[in-house]
Amino acid sequence: MTRRVGTQDELPTGALDAIEFDFSGSFPEGSTSGIASVATTFTVARGVDATPEALEADAPQINGQSVFVYVQGSVPNVTYLIDCLATTNEAVPRVLPAACYLPVVPRHT
């Protein structure tokens, strides 16, 4: 699954924003299975940021069939690619890939 997140204003220092990866469409309707673990990577798709991994503010949080990734400290005029690999808690675990682009525009004061 790849989805585009809306354009993000440059985050003020210390500000946190959450991005949700919703994997519910990967489970049968009515399933009580969910996500057991997750791995994320942050890369630059466009622009310049020497440390894109610093965008991750905290460990991803799992909530049932969704994963929340928290970001802060974005660089203006950079588009980030956030990859998320979620492993299910099913009897035979599956790895579900997802990704999104996070374009950051300069903050207007």
Say if residues 80 and 74 touch (Cβ distance below 8 Å).
yes
Could you state, in chain order, the average pLDDT of each consecutive group of 10 residues for the chain (109 residues)?
46 68 93 96 96 93 94 87 96 95 77
- Locate 11 and state its tokens: 């985050």
d(CA 83, CA 85): 7
Domain that holds residue 8: 2-105
Per-residue model confidence (pLDDT) at position 11: 52
Supply the pLDDT for residue 15.
58
Distance CA(102)–CA(52), nearest Å, equals 12
CA distance 59 to 71: 10
Q: Report the number of distinct structural domains present in the chain.
A: 1
Q: Beta-carbon neighbour count of residue 55 at 10 Å?
A: 25
Instruction: Provide the CATH number for the domain around residue 33.
Output: 2.60.40
